[in-house]
């Protein structure tokens, strides 16, 4: 399976306003030694969220992450529903700029921003 399948499963669904919402349930495999979600797990989810948030702007093309910035704010525990939402701040011919947040309930776990370079496969 793919890396996403190994660390997931992740779920995707558009909101009423058409924005994509991403989610997964925190499992023991996502935790660090302190029983909080590992930062690498949050970064992985932010990267996946980046592409889901930019889904419409991808226009069916492939893409790679060229930049991903994050701020860790709080930790998550096993059993919590983790969600990523966000918005495209600019979409040009080949670059898409995204910002978003990862939350559980009313708590913000992380904010992120990133840039995707889209391309047509050879």
User: For position 17, which CATH number holds?
Assistant: 3.10.129.10
If one counts the domains in the chain, the total is 1
pTM of the model: 0.91
What's the CA dihedral at 20, 71, 66, 97 to 10 degrees? 50
pLDDT tens by residue, 50-94: 999 999 898 889 999 999 999 999 999 999 999 999 999 999 989
User: For residue 66, what are its two tokens?
Assistant: 């060229």
CA distance 98 to 91: 9
Which of 91, 101, 116 is CA-nearest to residue 23? Answer: 101
Distance CA 3, CA 81 (A): 20
For the segment 99-116, the average pLDDT, to the nearest whole number, is 98
Could you list the residue range(s) of the whole structural domain that residue 97 is in? Answer: 3-119
Q: Measure Cα distances from 45 to 61, 94, 109, 121, 122 in Å.
A: 21, 23, 12, 24, 27
As given in the structure block, the two tokens for residue 71 are 């701020």
């Amino acid at each position: 399976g793919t890396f996403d399948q190994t660390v997931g499963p992740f779920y995707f669904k558009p909101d009423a306003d058409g924005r994509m919402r991403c989610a997964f349930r925190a499992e023991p495999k996502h935790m660090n030694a302190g029983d909080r979600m590992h930062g690498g797990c949050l970064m992985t989810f932010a990267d996946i969220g980046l592409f889901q948030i930019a889904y419409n702007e991808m226009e069916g093309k492939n893409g790679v992450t060229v930049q991903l910035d994050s701020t860790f704010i709080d930790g998550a525990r096993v059993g919590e529903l983790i969600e990523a939402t966000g918005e495209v701040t600019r979409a040009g011919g080949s670059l898409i700029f995204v910002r978003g947040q990862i939350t559980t309930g009313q708590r913000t776990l992380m904010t992120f921003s990133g840039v995707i370079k889209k391309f047509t496969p050879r």
